Structure 1
Amino acid sequence: MPALYAGLTGRAVEMAPHLAKRSLTVNHTQAVTLGIMAVYVVVIALLWNLPYVRWSLWPFKVNHTPPQTTNQKWMPGVNKNQDAGGKVKSISLDPHEGGVTHMQGGISAITLPAGYLGSSIIGALLIFAGFDIVASKVASIVLGVCFLLTIWWARKDWLTILTILLAVGLLVACWFIAHGEALRWVVLFIGVMSALYSVWDICDDLILRKVNTSDASVFAQRYGGSSQCWGVVWSIISLLFMAVGIIGGIAAFSESFSQQESDSKHFIPTL
Structure 2
Amino acid sequence: MAPVQRSHGSLEIFARKALFTAGSALTSHYVSKRDLTVRGAQGVTLGAIAAYVVGIAILWNVPYLHYILWPFKMLVIAFHEFGHAITACCTGGHVESISLDPREGGVTRMRGGISAITLPAGYLGSSIVGALLTFCGFDIVASKVASIVLGPCFLLTLWWGKKDWLTILTILTAVGLLVAFWFVSNAEALRFMVLFIGVMSSLYSVWDICDDLIWRKVNSSDATQFAKRYGGSSQCWGVIWSIISVLIMAVGIVAGIAAFPQSFEEQQKNSQGFIPTL
The two structures have a TM-score, normalised by structure 1, of: 0.83
1:53 equivalent to 2:58? Answer no
Three-state SS of the structure 1 residue aligned to 2:41 is helix
1:9 is matched with which residue? none
**What CA distance in whole angstroms lies between the structure 2 residues aligned with 1:20 and 1:99?**
43
CA RMSD of aligned residues (A): 2.3
| Contact 2:100–2:106, Cα closer than 8 Å, also in 1 | yes
Match of 2:90 in 1: 77
Q: What letter matches 1:133 in structure 2? A: I
Question: Secondary structure of 1:63's match?
Answer: helix
Aligned counterparts of 2:246 and 2:41: Cα–Cα separation in 1: 23
2:100 aligned with 1:92: yes
Q: Deviations over 1:154-182 (max 9, x none)?
A: 2x842466554443332122112111111
- After the TM superposition, which residues 177-188 of structure 1 pair with which residues of structure 2 at under 5 Å, given as runs? 177-188=184-195
Q: Are 1:170 and 2:177 counterparts?
A: yes
What is the aligned partner in structure 2 of residue 158 from structure 1? 163
Conserved? CA contact 1:120–1:198, under 8 Å: yes
Residue 75 of structure 2 is matched in structure 1 by: 63
Per the TM alignment, residue 70 of structure 1 is displaced from its structure 2 partner at its CA by 2.2
Give the aligned residue type for 1:66.
A
* Contact 2:74–2:157 (8 Å) recurs in 1: no
Q: Would you tell me which structure has more helix in proportion to its own residues?
A: 2
For these two proteins, the number of residue pairs brought into alignment is 248
Task: Kindly indicate whether residue 255 of structure 2 is the aligned counterpart of residue 242 of structure 1.
Answer: no
* TM-score (ref. length: structure 2): 0.81
The Cα of 1:88 is off from its aligned counterpart by 4.3
Q: Which residue of 2 aligns with 1:205?
A: 212
Contact 1:73 1:88 survives alignment (8 Å): no
User: Any conservation in 2 of the 1:87–1:106 contact (CA below 8 Å)?
Assistant: no
1:103-134 Cα offsets, whole Å, 9 max, x none, are 44433222211111111111111110000000
User: How many angstroms apart in 2 are the aligned matches of 1:147 and 1:48?
Assistant: 19
Residue 42 of structure 1 is aligned with which of 39, 54, 57?
54
Q: Which 5+ residue runs of structure 2 have no aligned equivalent?
A: 1-25
Deviation at 1:225, TM superposition (A): 1.0
CA distance in 2, matches of 1:54, 1:148: 21
For 2:256 and 2:214, the matched residues in 1 are separated by: 32
Following TM superposition, the consecutive aligned residue runs of length 4 or more in structure 1 with deviations greater than 4 angstroms are 16-19, 149-152, 160-164
CA distance in 1, matches of 2:217, 2:173: 28
Give the corresponding residue for 1:141: 148
- Find the aligned partners of 2:156 and 2:54 in 1 and give their Cα distance: 32
The answer to whether the Cα contact below 8 Å between 2:70 and 2:170 also exists between their aligned partners in 1 is no
Indicate how the Cα distance of structure 1 residues 192 and 52 shifts in structure 2: closer, same or farther if over 3 A, else same: same
Report which of the two structures shows the higher radius of gyration computed on alpha carbons: 2
SS in 2 for 1:74: helix
2:31 partner amino acid: A
Q: Cα–Cα, structure 1 residues 226 and 145, in superposed 2: closer, same or farther, change >3 Å?
A: same
Cα displacement (A) at 1:233: 0.8
Opposite residue 153 of structure 2, the aligned amino acid is C
Distance 1:255 1:262, change over 3 A: same
Matched residues in 2 for 1:191 and 1:36: separation?
A: 12
SS in structure 1 opposite 2:100? strand
